[in-house]
Structure 1
């Protein structure tokens, strides 16, 4: 059964909705990245495996989840309710069938779900990847599926917000077959995204991703 890594920092309010919509056969692994709102307890109550990662950082949490997974196929999903876990079934299909090495969810956003500054930054980064001949993509979204051993072999180093971009860059360099599939995107369950919910958060994310491109 595919494992689903959910990096979490104070998502107690959103987790019940996310975990109860997890498709049959997909095992959630919640990586608690220092929550103070009882997220870990809520995750356990809803049947998830919980891993503690005290080192702060989106990439640190994702890597901890990757190491904790034991299925040959691993999915990544935000835990804020903005993405529907049901979309993992279609997204994982080409990886499970062996016709793709990395499947990325291209977000189709509801009105108001995706802040303009985050959308603009995402498009700029995707354009830059195409301009440099790395990969032609429309989105660098957080829902994705790949082989666990393959990801470990990529030896991803970023432990901050550059993790998603580094995964794509290294996968392309390794000549992985990368595909995109549309996934729904809605407003997160309460509050603003800690990654791109503010201009400051978007700038921080772009800075980390730009560091990956520069490397």
Structure 2
């Protein structure tokens, strides 16, 4: 039996950074990918689940990037339809912003981060050490959103909607040690006592796929 159709919504606006979208999509080999800034759109009538990728754009750049408002409307429709949705980094910020939360520029973080996870199926078996690269942060969560992951410097590091199947994470589950060189060159990746060997953040994608499959079976 084939897996339910996942739509991966790619949000990167600069081609030199698209490798993070490629890495994320690699975790969903059967997904339909859509380049949202380029004008492509997912078919919600066919999508069993949505994944919103990161981006070097900011959700507050709505005047210069009209597609951001279009994606806000897409997110609202997915919530209304009950389509399981996962927002990563920019996707985390967009979902909370679209639901009335606030996102601000806070300066770049590019390192492994220790996180406290709530008891949630998205985080089952996930190590509390995760890769983070971001310059913006959710400073107040959207309406209906609850915090399910926190770091010492960032309270709303992960969120979940109370009533809809919507999850968001600030970190990048797709980042692996093989990308460390790119992350250092592009974002000034910082080493610490935390080790990539302790990271299994891609388990988030496996858990999300299980959530989508369970939803499709209902």
Q: Same fold (TM over 0.5)?
A: no
Q: Which has the larger strand fraction?
A: 2
Output the TM-score relative to the length of structure 2: 0.31
